[in-house]
Amino acid sequence: MRLAVLASGSGSICDAMLQADIGVELVVVDRVCGVLEVAASHGVVALHHERPSFGTDFDRDAYTQHLVDLLQDHGIDLVVMAGWGTILGQPMFDAYAGHIVNTHPALLPSFPGWHGVEDAMAYGVKVTGCTVHVATLEVDAGPILAQEAVPVLDDDTVDSLHERIKTVERRLYVDTVARLVADPSILERARPPQVRPSPP
């Protein structure tokens, strides 16, 4: 199985994936960031698929289609988002349905979205954590593949809690992706969450 990592940040998750030697063939970034240096240090091809705009004129589907073309040109089977900062459009989910994974710094379905750590702290939960899930067009709503809890300490700040979550996240994400590489049928068996309606 040929993997691509999509990343936008410092590259800590990408670095963990590359150190694990689980078949990452390509790294793609949407902006200049630390991930480029991480990929270079491991001798892995990195492409800068620059996002042309962060405004209302951004054509999400056109950008996504170009990204799909890049991935298919490299024979990619599994797309691993690792701090990827651009929400992807329909073409990605048409081309790679059920073969895109993501990680989120909260125990989904609680606290989806960009501010999962902040939202968990604001709500006052005593336990949060991280989730590895199949990505879908709806953000943070796909089938859950793995989760691990992280306690919220009395003296935690958003930053200190997020750092502890990231430590767990790097290990859990790498372990989960390694399992998917060893047994791709896990993805085929993953099912969207079934939410029962509330009684009247």
Instruction: Clarify whether residues 73 and 47 are in a common domain.
Output: yes
Selected catalytic residue, list 99, 104, 133, 162:
104
Q: Which amino acid is it at 68?
A: V
- Alpha helices (H) in the chain, listed in sequence order: 12-20, 35-41, 60-73, 90-95, 116-123, 158-182, 185-189
For the chain, give the mean pLDDT: 93
| Residue 79, domain extent | 1-97
What amino acid occupies position 2?
Answer: R
Please check whether residue 197 lies inside any domain of the structure.
no
Buried b (16+ CB within 10 A) or exposed e, 96-123: bebbbbbbbbbbbeebbeeebbbbbbee
Is the pLDDT at 104 greater than 90? The verdict is yes
- Residue 199 placed within a domain: no
What's the pLDDT tens digit per position in 4-49?
999 998 889 999 999 999 999 999 999 999 999 999 999 999 999 9
Q: What six digits make up the tokens of 144?
A: 């859950």
Is there a single domain that holds both residue 65 and residue 115? no
Q: Which amino acid is at 188?
A: E
Instruction: For 75-98, give the DSSP string.
Output: T--EEEEES--S---HHHHHHSTT
Catalytic-residue membership of 104: yes
DSSP 187: H
Please check whether residues 110 and 91 belong to one and the same domain: no
CATH number, domain of 10, equals 3.40.50.170
